[in-house]
Amino acid sequence: MPRVAAIDCGTNSIRLLVADVTTGSGGVDLRDVHREMRIVRLGKGVDAAGRLDPEAIERTRAALVDYTAVLRRKGAERVRMVATSATRDASNREDFFGMVREVLGADAEVISGDEEATLSFVGAVGDLDPADGPFVVVDIGGGSTELVIGDLSDDGTATVRAARSVDVGSVRLTERCLPGDPPTADDVAAAREVAAGILADAFAAVPLDGAKTWVGVAGTITTLSGIAQDLPEYDPSAVHLSRLARSDLHALAERLVTSTRPEREAMGALHPGRVDVIAAGSIIVSVLADELAARTGIEEIVVSEHDILDGIARSIA
CATH of the domain at 53: 3.30.420.40
For residue 15, the 8-state DSSP code is E
> Cα Rg for the chain, rounded, in angstroms?
18
Q: Are residues 89 and 175 in the same domain?
A: no
At 231, which amino acid appears? Answer: L
Flag whether 313 is in a domain. Answer: no
Shared domain check, 279 and 146: yes
* The predicted structure's pLDDT at residue 25: 55
- My answer on whether 107 and 144 are in the same domain is no
Q: Residue 122: inside a domain, yes or no?
A: no
Residue 121 domain-assigned (yes or no):
no
pLDDT digits (tens, 9 = 90+) for 210-248: 999 999 998 899 999 999 999 999 999 999 999 999 999
Q: Which of 87, 113, 139 is the last residue of a domain?
A: 113
Where is the domain boundary, 90, 113, 136?
113
Model pLDDT, residue 26: 55
Question: Do residues 108 and 160 both lie within one domain?
Answer: no
Cβ within 8 Å of residue 303, ≥6 positions away: 215, 216, 217, 221, 222, 224, 225, 239, 240, 241, 242, 243, 244
CATH code, domain carrying 220 = 3.30.420.150
Q: What's the pLDDT tens digit per position in 154-165?
A: 877 888 999 998
Is-contact 70 54, C-beta < 8 A?
no
> In the beta sheet, which residues pair with residue 9?
14, 83
Q: Which helix (H) or strand (E) holds 138?
A: strand 135-140
pLDDT of amino acid 93? 85
Tell me, yes or no, whether 186 and 284 share the same domain.
Answer: yes
Q: Are residues 160 and 105 in the same domain?
A: no
Q: Rounded to 10 degrees, what is the CA torsion of 299, 304, 309, 312?
A: -70
User: How many domains does the chain contain in total?
Assistant: 2
What single letter denotes the amino acid at residue 144?
A: S
Amino acid 11: pLDDT = 81
Task: Give pLDDT tens digits along the chain (317 positions).
Answer: 799 999 999 888 899 999 998 876 556 688 899 999 998 988 887 777 888 889 999 999 999 999 999 999 999 999 999 987 667 778 888 899 999 999 999 999 988 877 877 888 888 998 899 999 999 999 998 888 999 999 988 877 888 999 998 989 998 999 999 999 899 999 999 999 999 999 999 999 999 989 999 999 988 999 999 999 999 999 999 999 999 999 999 999 999 999 999 999 999 999 998 999 999 999 999 999 999 999 999 999 999 998 889 989 988 87
Q: Return contacts of 64-68, CB within 8 angstroms, 24+ apart.
A: 64/7, 64/14, 64/99, 64/100, 64/103, 64/104, 65/103, 67/7, 67/14, 67/16, 67/36, 68/103, 68/104, 68/105
43 and 10 inside one domain = yes
Range of the domain at 16: 3-113
- Among 113, 138, 170, identify where a domain stops: 113
Helices (runs of H) and strands (runs of E) counted in the chain: 13, 11
Q: Give the C-alpha separation, 311 to 7, whole Å.
A: 11
Residue 233 is predicted with a pLDDT of: 93
Q: Is 171 in the same domain as 56? A: no
The angle subtended at Cα 277 by Cα 56 and Cα 250, nearest 5°, is 160
145 and 7 in a common domain: no
Same domain? For 299 and 196 the reply is yes
Give domain status of residue 87, yes or no.
yes
Asked if the structure places residue 175 within a domain, the reply is: yes
Whether residues 107 and 229 fall in one domain: no
The reply to whether 258 falls in a domain is yes
